[in-house]
Amino acid sequence: MKKQYFILSSFLIFSLPAFNQDTIDTNKVIILNQVNIESAVLKNKVSRLHEVHDAIIVAGKKNEIINLRETEADLSTNNMRQIFAKVPGVSIWENDGSGIQIGVATRGLSPNRSWEFNVRQNGYDISSEVFGYPEAYYNPPMEAVEKIEIIRGAASLAYGPQFGGLLNYELKQANPNKAIEVESRQTIGSYGLFNSFNAIGGTYKKLSYYAYFHHRNAKGWRENSRYNVNSGHINLSYQINAKMKLGAEYTSMNYLMQQAGGLTDSMFAQNARQSTRARNWFSTPWNVAALTLDYNLNDNSIISLKNFALIAERNSVGFLRTANILDTINTSINDYNNRQIDRDFYNNYGSELRYLQKYTLFNQSNVLTVGARYYKGNTRRKQGAIGTRGSDYELVIDRLTNGYDYSRNLNLNTENYAVYIENLFKVGKHFSITPGFRYEHIISSIDGRFAANDVATINDSRNRNVYLLGLSTQYNTTENTNIYANYSQAFRPVLFSELTPSATTDVIDPNLKDVKGYNVDFGWRGAIGNFINFDIGAFYMFYDNRIGTINVNNLPFRTNIGASETKGIEAFAEIDPIKLINKKSLHQFALFASYAYIDAKYVKWNNPAIVNDPNKTIVGKSVEYAPSVIARYGLTYHYKMLTLTYQINHTGAVFTDANNTYLPNTTATVGKINEYTVMDATAAFSISKHIDLRAGVNNLTDERYATRRAGGYPGPGLIPGNGRTYFAGIGMKF
């Protein structure tokens, strides 16, 4: 028998069913009569999380959901500028055209492998090492993803200290209504692209299962940029009884990527497709597993437990000098240099326990969430071995040249204990307030050698006690719209990668300090009828002890360069003018605009002693890789079985160092990167409810552009974005 209980929402009064496993999924808090931002008339839709989501309070926090089942983006190569088109302010690094490594950020933060986000899959960690090295070398293929959840900086209380917030990939799940369902999508494209996604899933009695295998390979738009990636995933869940469900899942990925290297600016202007390196390779075998338990104690109480583990590697071999240095000793006989081998080995595990309780106080329905987390990470970092003079991917050390294995051999450890509490208090029918607190105890250590033959060794450890406070509020302006505001403190320990230099020219300040600061949001969002969806807000972020790179004595120098503040506007609106005139029309003509103005400036300069001139300052200068404008516009026409989409993506110019060096240096590792505009078009046609066709053109105008300069991997210098490419595919689901 279904029971009913009521929660006063900041959107409106929701009616929620009891937590009965015969009727709902314990992983979700199902909310009836919700704000229908995901209107069927708006394809490529973006929506918002409910105020209580997966035992987490989201009310008053800026967030978005990208529903990938309703997008015509190029999922075969994980084209993130199309996927994130309706999330304002997302900056993107394009390291290559493979889409294997995703680099995204918001609000002027660095997009380097999404490391300013807390990157998760199905709610558990998937990055290399959450505190010491949070780079996301693994990302699921977007064809396997049901939706992407984003919570901006206010996610720090529930998910841990970070400035960017949460980026969570929710994978597709088993069909609860079929014993077996099969999905297959095959895509071909320019420069030898072949992409294959195949999945099977279903539900039989109390057992649900879902598994996929994905393969992608291509020669690449640039010379010497071919790649091959294979990944797979299996998810099993068993409904023990009406209140309890157990789950187990495992993900494996392995890829081999040839890295074309960076270019000098003159090379880029001459031919952006050229490559200075033919012998550089990169590979990251990745394994992630999770065991989950969802238990409904009663109608008002939920327990969620996630246990997870990661075993992975990062392997590279290549000639890593700057682009203006040849890779041959004697060009007449094609005698190559020895290459460098760098390897990381990651072994991490953790557990997160969350408890949600609904209760009544002063005739108001409130929600309490508490949680605890334990995490332990180990990274074995081996770098600087002298490899062979060969051309293939081989992690073989040239022992005739080398008197040692790896010049750098480090053991990096992190142990973390955390607890948090948040409470959603309702004040009347329209207003809610959610205070929160998080405590982190972080123990990190590093030992080993920095140079060959134990010339430079290190044995250091740090203990931290971190206290974070936050406050979120939300007010109903109408039934389907609300005003939200929040304040949340954030913290990020010094990363292992920031303590060690890159494989090329970077110099590291040995006295780096931890980063701290806070985020503030204020905005208005919601839906008007079934034809307008919007979110318009302002933000402020203070980022103290900022770690960045400046140009000192013509060398990149990484240090605590001071403090920055970032403020701006993030606005999104989507409208269907046809539905505004005729709600019964079968035609859809959705127009959207996603715009962010970002003012990221340094407000404090610590004046490191290495700078001889005490008058040097970066106060008032722009934060590196923080474009002042990110604007994306598009339209989608949909009629019966046909969908056409066109998008314009514009990103403003950026400086690549804190000194705001305008002209590039000879190695192209610093210097301004110009603004660029890229246009994409896609088409989809449903032959039947089981078969559909998709095709598209990326970078319609064949724009030459770059999103970053590298100091090390994937090769020092300017990294070009892809030129014009095409793709076409067929999908089947039975």
Length of the chain: 734
Averaged pLDDT, 170-180: 96
Tokens for 338, please give them.
Answer: 């020895």
Tell me what pLDDT residue 33 has: 37
Tokens for 69, please give them.
Answer: 């089942």
Q: When comparing pLDDT for 43 and 724, which is higher?
A: 724
Please calculate the CA angle 60-61-63 and round it to the nearest 5 degrees: 130
User: Which residues are CB-contacts of 183 (< 8 A; sequence separation ≥ 6)?
Assistant: 197, 198, 199, 200, 212, 731, 732, 733
Tell me what pLDDT residue 498 has: 75
pLDDT at 6 over 60: no
Tell me what pLDDT residue 110 has: 92
pLDDT at 208 over 80: yes
578 close to 585: Cβ distance less than 8 angstroms: yes
Tell me what pLDDT residue 656 has: 94
DSSP H or E segment with residue 580: helix 577-581
pLDDT at 611 over 70: no
Dihedral angle, C-alpha 145, 147, 152, 156, nearest 10 °: -70
Tell me what pLDDT residue 7 has: 26
- At 118, which CATH number? 2.40.170.20
Q: How far apart are CA 31 and CA 58, in angstroms?
A: 13
Tens-place pLDDT, residues 458-505: 777 888 899 999 999 999 999 899 999 999 999 988 887 777 665 445
573 close to 532: Cβ distance less than 8 angstroms: yes
pLDDT at 258 over 80: yes
pLDDT at 571 over 80: yes
In terms of DSSP H, where are the helices of 649-727?
none
Please calculate the CA angle 515-658-604 and round it to the nearest 5 degrees: 55
Closest CA to 658 of 713, 611, 727: 611
Tell me what pLDDT residue 14 has: 27
Tell me what pLDDT residue 615 has: 61
Q: Is 24 exposed, middle or buried (0-12, 13-18, 19+ CB in 10 A)?
A: middle
Q: What percent of the chain has pLDDT over 90?
A: 70
pLDDT at 56 over 70: yes
678 close to 699: Cβ distance less than 8 angstroms: yes
697 close to 723: Cβ distance less than 8 angstroms: no
Averaged pLDDT, 111-119: 93
User: Which residues are CB-contacts of 649 (< 8 A; sequence separation ≥ 6)?
Assistant: 81, 85, 631, 632, 677, 678, 679, 680
Q: How far is CA 541 from the centre of its chain?
A: 19
Please calculate the CA angle 70-220-675 and round it to the nearest 5 degrees: 70
Tokens for 86, please give them.
Answer: 């309706």
pLDDT at 703 over 80: yes
Q: How far is CA 153 from CA 159, 466, 488, 520, in A?
A: 10, 16, 7, 8
SS (H, E, C) 361-413: ECCEEEEEEEEEEEEEEEEEEEEEEEECCCCCCCCCECCCCCCCCCCEEEEEE
Averaged pLDDT, 114-134: 94
Q: When comparing pLDDT for 366 and 556, which is higher?
A: 366
Q: Positive or negative CA dihedral for 422, 423, 429, 431? A: negative
User: Which residues are CB-contacts of 349 (< 8 A; sequence separation ≥ 6)?
Assistant: 307, 308, 309, 310, 375, 376
DSSP H or E segment with residue 600: strand 587-604
pLDDT at 32 over 90: no
pLDDT at 141 over 90: yes
Tell me what pLDDT residue 15 has: 27
pLDDT at 610 over 60: no
Q: Which residue has the tokens 């299996």?
A: 234
Q: How far apart are CA 88 and CA 115, in angstroms?
A: 19
- Amino acid identity at 450: F
Question: Domain range for residue 610?
Answer: 4-733
User: Which residues are CB-contacts of 613 (< 8 A; sequence separation ≥ 6)?
Assistant: none
Of the pLDDT bands very low, low, confident and very high (cuts 50, 70, 90), residue 587 is: confident
Tell me what pLDDT residue 452 has: 73
Tell me what pLDDT residue 504 has: 44
Averaged pLDDT, 433-452: 90
Averaged pLDDT, 333-344: 86
Tens-place pLDDT, residues 288-302: 999 999 999 998 999
Averaged pLDDT, 424-431: 94
Dihedral angle, C-alpha 504, 508, 514, 517, nearest 10 °: -70
Tell me what pLDDT residue 271 has: 97
Averaged pLDDT, 22-43: 38
Q: How far apart are CA 457 and CA 340, in angstroms?
A: 21
Q: Which residue has the tokens 């959207």?
A: 592
Tokens for 444, please give them.
Answer: 């990190």
Based on the structure, what is the number of domains in the chain? 1
pLDDT at 77 over 90: yes
Rg (CA), the chain: 25
Q: What percent of the chain has pLDDT over 70?
A: 89
Tell me what pLDDT residue 531 has: 82
Any idea which of 147-151, 508-512, 668-672, 727-731 has the lowest mean pLDDT? 508-512
Of the pLDDT bands very low, low, confident and very high (cuts 50, 70, 90), residue 329 is: low
Tell me what pLDDT residue 349 has: 97
Q: Which residues pair with 366 in a beta bridge?
A: 359
- Omega of the bond leading into 510 within 30 degrees of 0 (cis): no
Average pLDDT taken over every residue of the chain:
88
Averaged pLDDT, 247-251: 98
Tell me what pLDDT residue 505 has: 52
User: Which residues are CB-contacts of 73 (< 8 A; sequence separation ≥ 6)?
Assistant: 44, 79, 82, 83, 85, 142, 682
Tell me what pLDDT residue 402 has: 64
Q: How far apart are CA 725 and CA 97, in angstroms?
A: 10
Q: When comparing pLDDT for 583 and 313, which is higher?
A: 313
Start-to-end CA span in the chain (Å): 34
User: Which residues are CB-contacts of 362 (< 8 A; sequence separation ≥ 6)?
Assistant: none
Tens-place pLDDT, residues 346-393: 999 999 999 999 999 988 999 999 999 999 999 999 998 999 889 999
Q: How far apart are CA 388 and CA 273, in angstroms?
A: 27
Tokens for 611, please give them.
Answer: 């700078």
